[in-house]
Amino acid sequence: MRHPIEPEWLLRLARGTAGQGAGRGQQRTANLRRATSDAYYALFHAIALAVAAATLPNASAAEQHACSRYVSHTAVKKVSEWVSGASPPLHVQTVVNRLRASPSLVAVAAAVTRLQEQREAADYDHSADFTRLGTLAHVRQAEQAVAAIRANGTDDDFRALYGLITLQTTTRGG
Amino acid sequence: MKQEDQSRFAEEIREWLASRTFGSLSPVAVELRRDANSDEEEAWFFDVVLPNPDPAEETWPIDDIIALDLGVRDEALRRGLTWPWYVSFTPETEEEFADEDALEAPPAAS
């Protein structure tokens, strides 16, 4: 029996680890770091699955799950950075400028750039500080971004975003 | 673009951010620092201090956080600040939170 990665389950885990609804008192630093990392991975997997579905729309769910493994963190990060303000390559400038005008898509890209940077700090930077308020903001931002991805599966701008990520993605091996 | 121009743009955005309201969010202070990001690129970090949210809400309104993000992006693009830049949030006061990490030693390694 297959048990695919479900972004919503990672978000549920992040909420619990961050101490949502636990009342006063700060969570342990290790918990806040894990919650930030889980929130990022929930968003990353939601995007990877959406990219696979947009690239191979007639494939089965199992085939899309398999192909989503080729969607790299670097590809998702790079395209999100273009939307967030980094200079894109010349021949994608027009489409990136169009995507920058889509508020819901821009919010997803902003969530990726923030959570990716915070996830790196959570997993590797011993000097980084995490607060429960800030961590719950990360989790809520990931929740909102995943919801936007779910709600905009056939939206032209979101499909263009996934197309740009596909252009940045290569298969390995073979 | 000259580095001094970039520093001036970043400082202008810091001042702009500190003077604005985004929905219910009015920054108490904004600190600007130049540091390496996770790719070891030099980056601008805007550390925004925010009033503590309503305890019942547990964090700041996410729509207002997103509005702040978009505002900073638009200002950075308008002024010509070169990527990368990041915005992070710190609560104004943390006194109501006790750090459990300080209350007990980590478990001994087996």
Mark yes or no for CB contact A133/B52 under 8 Å: yes
Range of the domain at B73: 3-92
Q: Which amino acid is at B38?
A: S
Domain boundaries, given as residue ranges, for chain A: 7-167
- Residue A12 gets which letter from DSSP? H
**Domain tally, chain B:** 1
Residues of chain B contacting A28 with CB distance shorter than 8 Å: 100-101
Predicted pLDDT at A172: 76
Q: Interface pTM (ipTM) of the complex?
A: 0.89
User: What CATH number should be reported for the domain holding residue B45?
Assistant: 3.30.70
Q: Is residue B17 part of a domain?
A: yes
**Positions in chain A whose pLDDT score sits under 50:** none
The Cα-based distances of B90 to B27, B57, B93 in angstroms read 10, 16, 9
Closest CA to A119 of B34, B83, B37, B33: B37
Dihedral sign (CA A38, A43, A47, A50): positive
Q: Is the pTM of this model over 0.90?
A: yes
Instruction: Note the pLDDT tens digit of each residue in B47-104.
Output: 999 999 988 889 999 999 999 999 999 999 999 999 999 999 999 987 554 556 666 6
Q: Is residue B101 part of a domain?
A: no
Is B51 domain-assigned?
yes
Q: How far is A56 from chain B (nearest CA, A)?
A: 31
Q: Measured between beta carbons, which residues in chain B are less than 8 angstroms from residue A120?
A: 38
Tell me, yes or no, whether B97 lies in a domain. no
> pLDDT tens across B89-108, in order?
999 987 554 556 666 667 77
Query: Residue B29 domain-assigned?
Result: yes
Q: Which of A96, A105, A140 to mutate to test the interface with B (most CBs of B within 10 A)?
A: A140
Nearest residue to A113 (alpha-carbon basis) of A51, A60, A169, A47: A47
pLDDT given for residue A2 in this prediction: 78
**Residues on chain A bordering chain B, Cβ-to-Cβ distance under 8 angstroms:** 20-21, 24-29, 81, 84-87, 103, 106-107, 110, 113-114, 116-118, 120-121, 124, 131-134, 136-137, 140-141, 143-144
Across the interface, of B77, B87, B101, the residue whose CB is closest to A29 is B101
Chain B interface mutation, best of A99, A133, A141, highest count of B Cβ atoms under 10 Å:
A133
